Amino acid sequence: MKKTAEQPGIMEKLAGGLLLALTFLMPLKFGTLAVMPEATGLYPGDLFSWAIISWPAHSFGLFSGGLLLLLAPAAFRCGRELFSTPAGRTALLWGVGLPAVSLIGWINAATFDYALGETAHLAGIGAYVLAVYLMLARRPEWRAVYWGVLAGGMLCLAASGLYQYFWGFRETREFLEYQMESGAAVSAHMQLKIASDTRVFATFVSCNALAGYLLILMPLTVVMADRWAHRFEPVKPSRIIFCGISGAMVSGTFLLARSRGSYLALVMAAALLVLALPMRRLYRMILILLAVLIVAGGAVYIKAAGRGFASMEERVSYLNTSARMLAEKPLAGYGWGGFFYRHMQLKTTDSDESAHDPHNLVASFAAQTGVAGPAVVLAAILYPMFLIGRRVLGRKPEEGEWPLFALFWGEVAFFLHAMMEINLQIPATMAVAGAGLVSALITEERPETSPVPAVRLGGAALPVLAALAALWLNFRWIDAELKFDRLLSYARPMSAEDQKRPPHFAAVARLLRENDAAKPYSPFPWEAAGDYYLRFGDVPAAEHCYREALKRSECRPAIYRRLFEIEYARGDREAARKSLKRMYELFPTNPRYRELVERHFPELLAPSR
C-alpha cells in the first residue's frame, strides 16, 4: 500500500523515537558544563559506569547532530515554506543564528580552545532544536508525546535529586573517606564542601544549573501529569494523586537545590503572571505585595543563615566587566574566553577566583562577540516569546491550552534565571529552552508535501549543513579531550592508584606530542605537562613547558606564578620580578597574588593600593 502523509515510514519513526529517547535522557546525562578546556569530562572504561555518570557535555552535539542528519529528509518532504513559519524562524535563530554569530567570537579569542568549544556547544544545541522542529513540523500530532517525554525525564530528574538528598550525600561522604584511607590526596576545600554542603544538584553540575532546568519544566510536568490522570477512573482522585505526587517531587527538588537566583526568578515570574491574569485590582495588589514580602523575607533569611550576598556582589561585578568589554570592543568583543581574562583585571571583589562566564546569557555574547551577539540572542528569545505571549496572556487558558500556558511561564522564569546564572553552558538546559519555544509555536496543521524539485534547496540543505557542523566540531573536541584526559591521568591524578604511579617521563612526552598535534593552539596540555615535570623535580622541562604554554596564550597568571617560583628558587631575581609583575597585572585582585608581591617585590604595588 502506498504510504500517505498520515503514515510515517520506518525511518521517520526510528528517527523520531531516537530523538524522543535523547530528550528523555538529556536531564539525566547532559547537565554537565561545556567549554571547560582546562579539564575534561569523565571517560570510564566500563559500560556500567557510563550508565551511572553524566556524559561529557560535548558528546551531546554528536547525538543531536546525528539525529538531525536522520531527520533532514523531512526538510525535503515538507512544503517549500518550511522555515517561513514562526516555529521555523525560531528554529533557524537557535539552530543557525546562534552558532553563526558565535563565529565573531573567534576574531579576538586569546585562547582558541574557548572559541572552538563555544561554537561546537552552540552547534549541538542548534542541531537538537532543528531536529525537534523537523520532527514536529512533519508530525505536529507528536507534540503531546514530546511534551510527555519532557515531563517523564523531569520526574526522573526529580527522583534523582530526592535520592541524593536522603541517601546520596551520605554515600558520597563514605566514598570520600574510603578514598582518603586508600591514600588519595583530597583538598581541604573539597573535604569541607562534601561534609557541609547539602544543596541538591542531582545529575547536574551544580544546584544552580539544576534549578535552571527545573524552572522551565515544573509547570509543564504538573500539567502533563494531569493529562495522564484523565486516563484512569475515577478521574478526580486520579488527578489529585498524579498532580500531587508530581508537583511534590519537582517542587521539593527545586526547594532542596536552595538556589537563591532561581527563587528570585520564580517570584519575578509569578509577579508577572499576576499582572497578566485578569483579576480585580485589589487581588492583584495583594499578590504583588505578597511577592515583595517573599523577596524581603528571603533576603532576611539569607543574611540570618550566614550565606550572605557575596555571590550577588560577584554578579554585579560580572555585569560591570561585561559592559566595559562591550564599550571597549563593540564590534567583535574580546572573543570567547575573553571574559575570563578581562574579568581578572577588572573585577571589583577580592577573591582568588575568576568566572569563565558572566552568568548572564545576553552579557556573555555582548562581552565576547560584540553587539551582533546579544541582538541575535534577544531575537531568539523575544520573538517566539512575543508570539506565544499573544496567545496566552490576558485571559484564562482554555482546556487544551494549559500545556502552552505552563510552558510559556516556565520559559519566562528560566530566561529571568538565565540573566543571573550560567545556563548558557549547560547542554540539556539550553536545548530544552530552545526546543520548548519551537514546540509551543507548532500548529496542528501539517504542511503539504512537495516534490524535491519544488523545494527551495538552499533552505532544505540548512539542516544537513547544521548537522554536519555539529558532528564535526564536537567530534574534534571529544577526540582532543580524550587525548588530554590521558595526559591528565599522569599530570593531575585523581585516584589513589594514579597518585602512587612512579614517574614516567617518556609516556608524558608522548602524550604531550599527541595533544599538541590535536590542538597545536592550546596552552593547557603544555601547562599540565609542566605541572607533572615540576612535581617530579625536572625543573628545566617544566619551565620549557610553561613557556610553550605562554606562546599559545600569554594571559594566564597562574603560569607566571609558577615561572616566578622557578626563577626565584634559581636566584634570578630580575626574571622572577618580571614574572611576578606580569602575574599581578593580569589578576590584581587575587589576595594570594597580592601577598606574594608584598612579600617579595612590594614596590610593584600601585600607589593607590
The grid coordinates listed for 231 are: 486516563
pLDDT means per 10 residues, the chain with 609 residues, are 59 93 98 93 88 95 97 72 89 97 95 96 98 94 96 98 94 79 64 75 96 98 95 91 96 94 92 80 74 68 59 85 96 95 86 85 97 98 96 80 94 96 96 98 66 55 94 97 94 71 88 96 96 94 97 93 95 94 92 91 71
- Kindly state the DSSP code that residue 602 receives in the 8-state scheme: G
Closest to 436 in 3D by CA, of 387, 389, 384: 384
Burial class of residue 523 in the structure, from the number of CB atoms within 10 Å of its CB (0-12 exposed, 13-18 middle, 19+ buried): buried
Q: Spell out the CATH class of 482-602.
A: mainly alpha
DSSP 380-427: HHHHHHHHHHHHHTTS---GGGHHHHHHHHHHHHHHHHTTTS-GGG-H
Cα-based distances in Å from 528 to 110, 204, 524, 543, 548: 19, 26, 6, 12, 11
3-state secondary structure of 301: helix
Asked whether the bond before 520 is cis by omega within 30 degrees of 0, the reply is: no
Sign of CA dihedral 391, 393, 395, 398: positive
Phi-psi domain of 549 (left: phi exceeds 0; alpha: psi -120 through 50; beta: other)? alpha
Segments of 443-555 assigned E as strands: none
- Residue ranges of domains in the chain: 10-471, 482-602
DSSP 55: P
Residues 8, 12, 15, CA angle at the centre, nearest 5°? 150
CB-based burial of residue 308 (10 Å sphere; 0-12 exposed, 13-18 middle, 19+ buried)?
Answer: exposed
Distance in angstroms (rounded) separating the CA atoms of residues 74 and 131? 10
CB-based burial of residue 272 (10 Å sphere; 0-12 exposed, 13-18 middle, 19+ buried)? Answer: middle
Can you tell me the distance from the alpha carbon of 512 to that of 493, in angstroms, rounded to the nearest whole number?
A: 16
- Pseudo-torsion of CA 98, 104, 108, 112, nearest 10°? 50
pLDDT at 281: 72
On whether the CB atoms of residues 362 and 319 are closer than 8 A, the answer is no
Calculated CA dihedral for residues 407, 411, 413, 416, nearest 10 degrees: -170
Q: Would you state the pLDDT for residue 350? A: 74
Residue 158 near residue 150, CB atoms below 8 Å: no
What distance in Å separates the CA atoms of residue 534 and residue 258, rounded to the nearest whole number? 41
Any idea what the Cα angle at residue 567 is, between residues 561 and 571, rounded to 5°? 140
What is the predicted pLDDT for the residue at 130?
97
Q: How far apart are CA 84 and CA 143, in angstroms?
A: 19
